[in-house]
């Protein structure tokens, strides 16, 4: 089969690789759609500590079952499937503590290779985090399951009320998906701060009530102006920049919450005003990955149409044009591209 291989930072190749075979409890999918994402783009640009090179890559996908292994009873050949690329072991210290997103083996047993004609799902993913695709949504929309699960897991660390004001910092795919999810949760005032007109405009169709172009406005005063000087109830950092992490403290109200979603480069450090944290009772919360419960909720929201992800998909491109998709993203053009093998 054909698959895009990440050879080294900045270098990928379309290669002929061995077709996967389904073992007991496993299924092989024909990839119908794979989505570009910020993590894959960062891996392409500078490598990734969890992706030894050379490697298959890509992890947001949906597809059709072409082979079901022995003991698989939830899926059969021909089923249309939406899935994420990992699942917890449910036996390690963290899983038993109810922190399945921090599972000792979740990153070591993840599946990469969505930018290919076929992908194999191991038993632990088939059993926990794979679902029959709803006929109400397209394959590219179904491939949004993984990032939506991450967004839902992060947001559900807090009790978010409909009358809260939430400020999302970063107009990338995740920031935009957070806006759409907050709107689905019934939040009445959502502020999105970021760059690139197409993304800011898209946020309005997804439910943003106020957009702030950070190239034209000073961010903290703009947030304070929108919140009568108090600051937002919840500030979500989705840029992965340490300076933006640090700035969140100036935008949140007393007793407010800060969600640190964007992953910074390895070795980054951030400093925060301890007086503000202590006396104003600010909560800083880092989040990583997702749990099966978040995946299930993402599946239900996508399948029911409660959340609309169509505006996030800029265009569809064939597998051989994945390098072009990355070039467009690096030039600030588009949001997410659906790769159709």
Query: Which segments of the chain belong to CATH 3.90.180.10?
Result: 2-149+290-340
**In the predicted model, is pLDDT for residue 50 greater than 80?**
no
Q: Where are the domain boundaries for CATH 3.40.50.720 in the chain?
A: 158-286
For residues 118 and 28, the answer to whether their CB atoms sit within 8 Å is: yes
Say if CB 268 and CB 242 are below 8 A apart. Answer: yes
**pLDDT per residue over 193-238, tens digit each?**
999 999 999 999 999 999 999 999 999 999 999 999 999 999 999 9
Candidates 3.40.50.720, 3.10.580.10, 1.10.443.10, 3.60.15.10; correct CATH number of 158-286? 3.40.50.720
What does the mean pLDDT of the chain come to?
Answer: 96
Question: Does residue 267 have a pLDDT over 80?
Answer: yes
What average pLDDT does this structure show over 279-297? Answer: 98
Q: What is the pLDDT of residue 266?
A: 84
Selected from 3.90.180.10, 1.10.20.10, 3.40.950.10, 3.30.465.10, the CATH number assigned to the domain covering 2-149+290-340 reads 3.90.180.10
Q: What is the pTM of this model?
A: 0.96
305-329 residue pLDDT tens: 999 999 999 999 999 999 999 999 9
Predicted pLDDT of residue 47: 86
Check whether 49 has a pLDDT greater than 90: no
How many whole angstroms separate alpha carbon 75 and alpha carbon 332? Answer: 39
């Amino acid at each position: 089969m054909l698959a895009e291989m990440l050879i080294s930072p900045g270098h990928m190749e379309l290669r002929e690789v061995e077709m996967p075979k389904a073992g007991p409890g496993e299924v092989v999918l024909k990839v119908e759609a794979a989505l570009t994402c910020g993590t894959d783009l960062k891996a392409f640009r500078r490598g990734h500590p969890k992706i030894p090179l050379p490697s298959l890559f890509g992890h947001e996908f949906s597809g059709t079952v072409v082979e079901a292994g022995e003991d698989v009873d939830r899926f059969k050949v021909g089923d249309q499937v939406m899935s994420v690329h990992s699942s917890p072991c449910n036996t390690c210290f963290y899983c038993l503590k109810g922190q399945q997103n921090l599972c000792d083996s979740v990153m070591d047993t993840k599946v990469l290779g969505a930018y290919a004609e076929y992908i194999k799902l191991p038993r632990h993913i088939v059993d926990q985090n794979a679902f029959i695709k709803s006929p109400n949504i397209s394959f590219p929309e179904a491939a949004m399951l993984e990032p939506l699960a991450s967004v839902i897991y992060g947001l559900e660390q807090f009790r978010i009320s409909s009358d809260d004001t939430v400020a999302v910092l970063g107009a990338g795919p995740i920031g935009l998906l957070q806006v759409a999810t907050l709107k689905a949760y019934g939040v009445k005032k959502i502020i999105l701060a970021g760059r690139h007109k197409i993304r800011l405009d898209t946020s309005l169709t997804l439910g943003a009530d106020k957009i702030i172009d950070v190239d034209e406005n000073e961010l903290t005063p703009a947030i304070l102006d929108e919140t009568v000087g108090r600051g937002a109830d919840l500030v979500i950092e989705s840029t992965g920049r340490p300076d933006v992490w640090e700035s969140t403290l100036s935008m949140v109200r007393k007793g407010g919450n800060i969600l640190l979603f964007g992953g910074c480069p390895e070795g980054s450090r951030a400093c925060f005003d301890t007086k503000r944290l202590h006396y104003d009772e600010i909560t800083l919360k880092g989040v990583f990955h997702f749990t099966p419960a978040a995946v299930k909720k993402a599946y239900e929201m996508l399948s029911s149409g409660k959340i609309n992800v169509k505006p996030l998909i800029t265009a569809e491109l064939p597998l051989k044009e994945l390098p072009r998709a990355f070039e467009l993203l690096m030039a600030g053009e588009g949001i997410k591209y659906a790769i159709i093998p």
